[in-house]
Amino acid sequence: MSQTLIRINGEEVLLDEEGFLIHPESWSEAVAESFALEDGLPQLQEVHWRIINILREYYLANGRAPLNSELKKATGMTISQIEASFPKGIRRGARRLAGLPNPKSCG
């Protein structure tokens, strides 16, 4: 697995080959904002932060990302609405911005 070391706001952050955090504990709002900019979101809005925070809280409490049904219930949004909020969707967009592990490395 190839890794890349980047610097965000003076902090070193280690990424996997697809740009996901290797160490979820190195996440910060600055990391999310930097990733969002890379994904074509110049500014994270309230809806983005709500989804990001739900993903993070669920992951920290359960050690895994929420299932789509759990994410729908927690956000009060449809999966289509959540997907449309992030240019790269839920798995490659919202999860990455929330600092969750790469979906392909889970399980």
Task: Please say if 43 is a catalytic residue.
Answer: no
pLDDT digits (tens, 9 = 90+) for 42-51: 999 999 999 9
The Cα–Cα gap between 79 and 87 comes to 14
Residues 10, 21, 106, 107: which is the catalytic one?
A: 106
Ordered structural domains, the chain, with CATH: 27-102 (1.10.10.370)
Q: In angstroms, how far is CA 47 from the centroid of its own chain?
A: 13
Q: Is 100 left (phi over 0), alpha (psi -120 to 50) or beta?
A: beta
How much is the average pLDDT of 49-77? 97
pLDDT digits (tens, 9 = 90+) for 21-48: 999 999 999 999 999 999 999 999 999 9
107 has pLDDT over 60: no
